[in-house]
């Protein structure tokens, strides 16, 4: 469903502009609040094996989250782009990461492969989200293809400016179970 005249590309462009307009100090404050809210989530506390993306400069910073996951004894699994799909790999340090296809840090191909069914919680990126859990990604469909058969909870991380009234979606789009922002 989409509102007449508003495309996914329009929303991506508008939201990316709003995120880039945030000051460094505002982003740092928001990242701290999101970090604290993330670790208060029951789904995070219960999960032992967590799949989380390594953030890009225009996304909520996941570096501190990954470090804390290791500190608390969690197994960290990170996606890697392989062709037109994502594979999941267990990492034990930042040394296991290398620049990938989209200039995003992702696991080296020597890292152990993890099957999606072994993951207790998926932390997924998005450009925009709505309150019903619909998610607008970067437009490549990698996460939607990965998550369409996954039953584990899916948690989105976003700045409040990335939450909009309605995300246009199709039957191929996979929604998140919960969303963490600096405001709620």
Checking if the pLDDT of 12 tops 90, the result is: yes
151: which 2 tokens?
């039953």
Give the mean model confidence (pLDDT) for residues 11-33: 96
Domain count, the chain: 1
Give a yes or no: residue 129 inside a domain.
Answer: yes
DSSP run (H or E) holding 29: helix 24-38
Q: Which domain holds residue 22?
A: 8-74+112-180
Q: What is the pLDDT of residues 154-163, one digit of tens each?
A: 999 999 999 9
Mean predicted confidence (pLDDT) in 3-14: 82
10 Å Cβ neighbour count for 131?
12
**Domain-embedded: residue 18:** yes
Give the pLDDT confidence score for residue 170 in this predicted structure: 82
In CATH, what number is assigned to the domain containing residue 65?
3.40.50.10420
**4 pLDDT tier (thresholds 50, 70, 90):** low
Arithmetic mean of pLDDT over the chain: 93
Q: Using CA atoms, how far apart are residues 128 and 139, in angstroms rounded to an integer? A: 11
Q: What is the pLDDT at residue 30?
A: 98
Residues 184, 167: Cα–Cα separation, whole Å: 18
Q: Are strands 49-52 and 121-124 parallel, antiparallel or unpaired?
A: parallel
- Indicate whether 3 pLDDT > 50: no
């Amino acid at each position: 469903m989409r509102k007449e005249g508003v495309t996914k590309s329009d929303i991506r462009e508008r939201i990316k502009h709003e995120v880039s307009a945030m000051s460094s100090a505002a982003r740092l404050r928001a990242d701290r609040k999101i970090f604290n809210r993330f670790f208060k989530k029951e789904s995070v506390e219960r999960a032992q094996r967590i799949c989380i993306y390594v953030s890009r400069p225009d996304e909520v910073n996941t570096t501190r989250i990954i470090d804390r996951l290791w500190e608390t004894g969690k197994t960290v699994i990170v996606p890697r782009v392989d062709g037109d799909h994502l594979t999941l790999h267990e990492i034990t340090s930042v040394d296991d990461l290398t620049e990938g296809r989209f200039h995003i840090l992702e696991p080296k191909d020597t890292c152990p492969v993890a099957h999606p069914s072994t993951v207790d919680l998926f932390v997924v990126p998005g450009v925009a989200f709505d309150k019903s859990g619909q998610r607008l990604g970067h437009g490549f469909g990698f996460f939607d293809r990965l998550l369409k058969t996954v039953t584990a909870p899916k948690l989105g991380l976003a700045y409040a400016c990335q939450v909009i009234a309605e995300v246009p979606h199709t039957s191929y789009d996979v929604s998140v179970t919960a969303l963490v922002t600096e405001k709620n």
